[in-house]
Amino acid sequence: MSAQRLGMVVDTKRCVGCHTCAVTCKIENNIGDGVFWNRTMTVGGDSIDSASGTYPNLSKHYITLACQHCENPACTRVCPVGATYKREEDGVVLQDYDKCIGCRMCIAACPYTGVRNFNWEEPQHSIGYDVGDADAPAHQKHTVEKCMMCAHRLARGEEPACILGCLAKARYFGDFNDPQSEVSKLISSRTYKQLQVEDGTNPSVYFLV
């Protein structure tokens, strides 16, 4: 067991589906056009923000999907060069762009659809200049990238940007190995779900339902 198991709790009862966490992430990490490391998904009807059911019995909520920083990641095991790896001290799953050979095995192995992005071309920025944190690693063409839990911010003792960006205060960050942490208390007091539990990855992102 790693010393820490950093992760997130997302309260789907508070989430209003505003996409601000996704955009904050995009700005913070200077993510290229058309790429999202974190996406707000509508659990309801067939299109964004639509509900399922018939009025007045409608149902809709949101989940935000990014790398789940699994305790038992499928991706780190399959990477032939160890470019994606779990950091032992805090359990964060990282990606080393300089090592990645672009074989996309990790994308094939990850059960969480679309959280890993391969830069199919030179990353473009529609506003014409770089944004975000200077410490965030620069993107590289033909390598795989994903949410790294803002490792550059963690190094400075700060929380990931999406936590700060959440307007509804639906996102929490902390160490699941510390029973006194806010996230541990939340999942011990509230009903939660994890995604794709049947794949045995034990994701470190919990959704309060």
Among 2, 12, 43, 158, binds other proteins (CB under 8 A): 43
Q: How far is the CB of 21 from other proteins (least distance, A)?
A: 12
Q: Note whether 84 and 95 are within 8 A (CB).
A: yes
End-to-end CA distance of the chain: 27
Number of residues near other proteins (by CB under 8 A): 52
Q: What is the 3-state composition of the chain as percent helix, strand, coil, each rounded to the nearest 5?
A: 20, 20, 60
Task: Single out the residue of 148, 94, 117, 105 nearest to residue 35, CA to CA.
Answer: 117
Place of tokens 């780190």: 76
Among 40, 95, 181, 204, binds other proteins (CB under 8 A): 40
48 interacts with other proteins by CB under 8 A = yes
Binding letters toward other proteins, positions 54-83, x by CB under 8 A: ---------x-x--------x--xxxxxxx
Among 3, 16, 27, 101, binds other proteins (CB under 8 A): 101
Binding letters toward other proteins, positions 158-197, x by CB under 8 A: -------------------------------------xx-
Q: How far is the CB of 35 from other proteins (least distance, A)?
A: 8
Residue type, 87: R
Q: Which is nearer to other proteins, 100 or 150 (CB)?
A: 100
Sign, CA dihedral 194-196-200-205, equals negative
Q: How far apart are CA 51 and CA 18, in angstroms?
A: 15
Q: Note whether 116 and 107 are within 8 A (CB).
A: yes
Q: Which helix (H) or strand (E) holds 165?
A: helix 161-165
Residues within window 104-143 making contact with other proteins, judged by CB under 8 A: 104-105, 107-114, 116-118, 120-122, 141-143
Q: What are the residues facing 6 on neighbouring strands? A: 175
Q: Which is nearer to other proteins, 101 or 135 (CB)?
A: 101
Among 47, 54, 189, 191, binds other proteins (CB under 8 A): 47
Q: How far apart are CA 208 and CA 200, in angstroms?
A: 19
Give the residues lining the site for other proteins (CB under 8 A).
19, 22, 34, 36, 39-43, 45-48, 50, 63, 65, 74, 77-83, 99-105, 107-114, 116-118, 120-122, 141-143, 195-196, 199-200
